[in-house]
Amino acid sequence: MQVQIQALLAGRATEGEGAREARRGGEAEVAKPQIFDGTATRVAGFITACKLYIRMKMREEPVEGQVQWILSYVQRGTADVWKKNVMEELEAGEVEYEMAEEFLMSLKKEFSGGEEESAKVAELRKLEQGGKTMEEFVQEFKRAARRSGYEGRPLVEEFKREMNGGIRRKLIEAENQLVSIEQWYKKATALNRNWRESRREEERLREKKEMGGGQKQEQKMIMS
């Protein structure tokens, strides 16, 4: 395995960029990941870059080749020791990955140190709907909730706390109680959408009434 990775790195140094892109398939420009040295704050960015490149350029590559390619970017610092252990396990057949994403998850568990999850929890707790539509708020909430570790009832409670009070009260008082977070997303969005449509209709009626009153006043002035 170590020989294969060294050969892969040597090939990258001598092979022309055009030839590499042709071999990877497709002409779209996709940024390669930066070297990962084990720094916890860089785990998420490294994993995202690897996933994107594999999806765009290495989809047909066997999983073993994808894993070796990822390992070629794991260098320096504490990452070197981890890579050496992983290579030994792969060579001994002690571990086997069905897909590259599975390998990347093991990398994340090793180096994230819980910092990403803590940051996501902090981000989640700072949210509030405010003047956003429920559609906008739900998408923002989902992004913050991802990788926060929140799920089930705690996630629902956080969502309830951060939405506007009027919508929350109506949903809590509803005859059919909501359970899952998806139910809360769906019902809250529908309720907020209906409320906005009702407000728009009221605005149209008021404008129409004001316009009608103005026309009558104008007619009176003409008649007089």
Q: Indicate the pLDDT class of residue 13, thresholds 50, 70 and 90.
A: very low
How far, CA to CA in Å, does 61 sit from each of 8, 57, 58, 90, 100? 14, 9, 5, 18, 10
pLDDT in tens, 127-170: 999 999 999 999 999 988 886 778 888 899 999 999 999 999 99
pLDDT in tens, 17-40: 444 444 444 567 889 999 999 988
Burial, 145: exposed, middle or buried (Cβ in 10 Å; 0-12, 13-18, 19+)? buried
Give alpha helix (H) positions in the chain.
Answer: 2-14, 17-24, 43-57, 63-71, 77-92, 100-111, 115-125, 134-145, 152-162, 165-172, 181-223
Query: What average pLDDT does this structure show over 49-65?
Result: 93
pLDDT in tens, 76-104: 888 998 999 999 999 988 888 888 999 99
- Assigned token pair, 156: 């629902």
- Assigned token pair, 157: 């409670």
In a 3-state reduction of DSSP, which class is residue 133?
A: coil
Question: How many Å apart are CA 71 and CA 35, to the nearest integer?
Answer: 10
Question: How many Å apart are CA 79 and CA 33, to the nearest integer?
Answer: 15
What is the reported pLDDT for 168?
92
**Residue 187 near residue 168 (C-beta atoms within 8 A):** no
Residues 6+ apart with CB under 8 A from 148: 117, 120, 121, 123, 124
- Assigned token pair, 45: 């960015």
What is the reported pLDDT for 224?
54
74 pairs with which residues across the strands?
A: 36
pLDDT in tens, 99-137: 899 999 889 888 876 656 667 778 888 899 999 999 999
Question: How many Å apart are CA 144 and CA 123, to the nearest integer?
Answer: 6
Name the average pLDDT for the chain. 82
